[in-house]
Structure 1
Amino acid sequence: MDSPSDAPTLLGDYRLIELLAEGPLTRTWLAEQVSVRRNVLVDELRPEAEEARESFLADIRSKAAMDHPLIGSVYEAVAKDEHCFFAREKLAGATLEERLHATEAMRPSELAHAVRRVAEANLYLESRGQATAQLDPEDIHLEDSGVVRLVNLAVAGEREPERSVQDIVNLGERLVPLVADGHPGASRMLTLLAWMRGEGLEIPLTWEQVRAYASQIEQQLADPAAGAGPATTHLPAPKKLPVAAIAGVAALVIAAAGVGLSVMKPKPPAGPPKASLPGAVLIPAGKHPTPDGLDEDLRAFRLASHEVTIGEYAEFLETLALLAKDKRERTFDHEGQPATKTDHLPDDWETLRTAAKTNGTWKGRPVTLDTPVVGVDWWDATAFCEWKQGSLPSQEEWFAALRVGVQQPATLKPSNWLPVTAETPDRTPNGLLGMAGSVAEWTRSQSVNPANPLGEKLWVIIGGSFLNPANGAQAREWVEERGLRRPDLGFRLATDAR
């Protein structure tokens, strides 16, 4: 689109390059931010629409309040004299709308990944009660590297109760042509899109359910056995999806004109979809025993039922990679982190992650994406927890959670280093897994080793591990260096009780 003849070459710090869109109230420009020499998008309130200035600025404030790595950033807003505009991030990659126009289908694993990331961004918006404009394929960008980003659709006002359902249904309808038929997982992806449209379901899917299903499809397709058959009619049954229909064949009927497309209604789910990993456990406020034989008053909090997994940690690293584009990769670093520590990659990360994605082996042991991550130091664990808006547990919190319903911790049988499942044998009555075995865990604070009461406070590692199961859940170590990494050392997340 050509630039209007009366448009200025410069708008503040922005050199206008090309007019991309024009409406009754606003214009959207491709521009260069001169001071930092980067391309951005500039949305300008048209001079003749001055009466809309306050609502325009209210929307900008809502967009600027969004701080999520999957959602495009607002860089600057200007409202003075006759100029009222804001600059926002120009997202990389092609949009899903562009792929639809180009009839460029996607591998089911690739589309499942995109849908999962879209769900995660929308769960963030839901959690804040944030009002948004309608989500369309043109708002979803997919880079060649597989990174998914969303246009910032936040607007002022209260979130509409039906916003999420409408967006889920819209994507369920619009994304069907993107499924590459004949590829492993195609029928599963088509079934998920059918459910997103509400076919065969009494209750519409939520973003949490969409994320859980898409994640399970991703994990199943990462297993070479799951993709062994080249045609969708010979797919193996999924291991985790609670509804058998997603493993079956969704009959695809294509009209002769190539336009009519319908998917057979799947068997309705017997119950709401379940996430692949168990959730956090609430620990009530009150007096709790400590590992040193005392009682201590603790606030209510939640402790993750399992150690952070390889798959969860991989998402954290993906977030850091996105932030690095704006030189914000240190956003979640602890204030005391040494300047010489420049990343949060676990030991031998690429080998470990590759093995986990293919259900292979690492150092002779089988691993999946649901296996607890290891080879992380205290700084890594703390940064992850900050990203999750939580923290490492103190040793007192960890032990208090262990003792809820457990009179004798020594009776817990240590487990091996295994993927997290609902059937993990190393389990407390309230649902905490791997406290006696699996991997040892970092805690938040320092303490004195009671065997050396005159010694200095050191950092505490708590719980047994598959390499050191002798003392089980009662195991503790005191270490001086927070940079310590081991193949049996991980962590779990503590959060507020709300």
Structure 2
Amino acid sequence: RMISADTIFLVGEGQPRIANPVKPGIPLPEEDSAQMRLIADAIRPFVRGPKADKRLVALLDRMSNPARVDGIKSGHGLAEAIRHLEDQALHPPAHAELEKRSNRTAIVSGIVVGLLIVVAGLIWQVFFGSRPVAKPFDTMIRVPDGAFIYQNGEKVEIPAFWIDEYEVTIGQYSAFLDALKADPSLVAVVKHPDQPETKKSYRPKDWDEFYETAIRGGNISGAAIDPNCPVTNVDWWDAYAYARWKGNRLPTDQEWEKAARGTDGLIYPWGNDLDLARFNSGADQDAESNGNKDGYRYWAPVDAFPQDESRYGVKGLTGNVSEWTDTWDIDPDNPDLKVPIKRGASFATKEGYELTSRRPAKSPDEMNLWTGFRTARSEAPLPAGTPPPRPEPATAAPDSGAPEPAAAPTPDGTPPMEKPAPATETPEMSAPPAAPASEPPTATPAAQPAPAPPTPEPKNE
């Protein structure tokens, strides 16, 4: 529903309220500047005529024309402008001048202040009143040492480790970016020693659009998104750097599988029978299904599926997004190269949901809307709420003629990386974020991802 004069009303003792702008099937405007224009159009009927306060009229003009040099493009900018006008109305230039003013002028100033308060209330309701709250999700789960059934029956023994209970969220990743902005020297500390020189930033692709939409609980491609959804569009270098900033690391392929399957070699965290209602998959991504099997067409908050829980209490391993691991293996398309392994299905996976499925990336630079990560560590985590310790700079392994990962030897004995795969821009990376395409099937490593379909109609929850 578009914001207009008939959607604004006063209740109680003059408290401003705005009618629920959500109407099933119609997404809200995604741009703050569009909201500015809508609010200006809604207020303008109340300030028309020759006696309208020029300051308020000028404010509405700035909201209606965000392209102006002094145009108001966001809720924060409007809040600042309102505070400035309130100061002007409440604090005239000089006491002597105030004594010359008539009672009529004082009344008009009071009306202006009242209107500004109403506008401020509207801004709070639209931009801040119903914003989703970012949850901490700081808990890590201990997985004990001992043997477990790996892949198709091999018994493997690995040491105890801790792993994040949930996938890393948009809210958590934003704290990482804020830390790098506050202390740019951290960039050199958290980066992998073999990170390409061409990679200059850890900001995910389309980060500004996704983050701004998430913090106000908006929609992208008809799918709701908030700070508790998993961060995506991150490559392997991003995941590695975030983990180091947290004082952690990425889990190995074997650690991930043990955390998911337990010691009994389960096919799914809950047992051996597939249940599409227990996790977020791509089985209902098409327009006809529209998320009717699990309730989500694309991403979901990381805690949306409590049934997707392993015997150890780790959640979201079966679906939602595939996850980067610390393990590198032979590229199926190029045996001379090694690439990072991803584990777990995603909202774009239409088959191959088994926890044994290993998903080689195209390269460590691969990024798309269905890949995220979680972190792990070998020692007990710090108490909840403790700021991440400043990590020591990573150092490359002794030169053997080819670059190797700087991480310590992995519990599964994975050989060191012989040569990082070259950066390649996949169709998912170059396509706009209008609608996620389907993930390539794991059974055919050489298959190319399907092209992005047209933007879907929003899904009725």
After TM superposition, the score normalised by the length of structure 1 is 0.43
Of structures 1 and 2, the one with the larger relative CO (CA 8 A, separation 6+) is 2
After TM superposition, the score normalised by the length of structure 2 is 0.47
Structure in which a larger fraction of residues adopt strand: 1
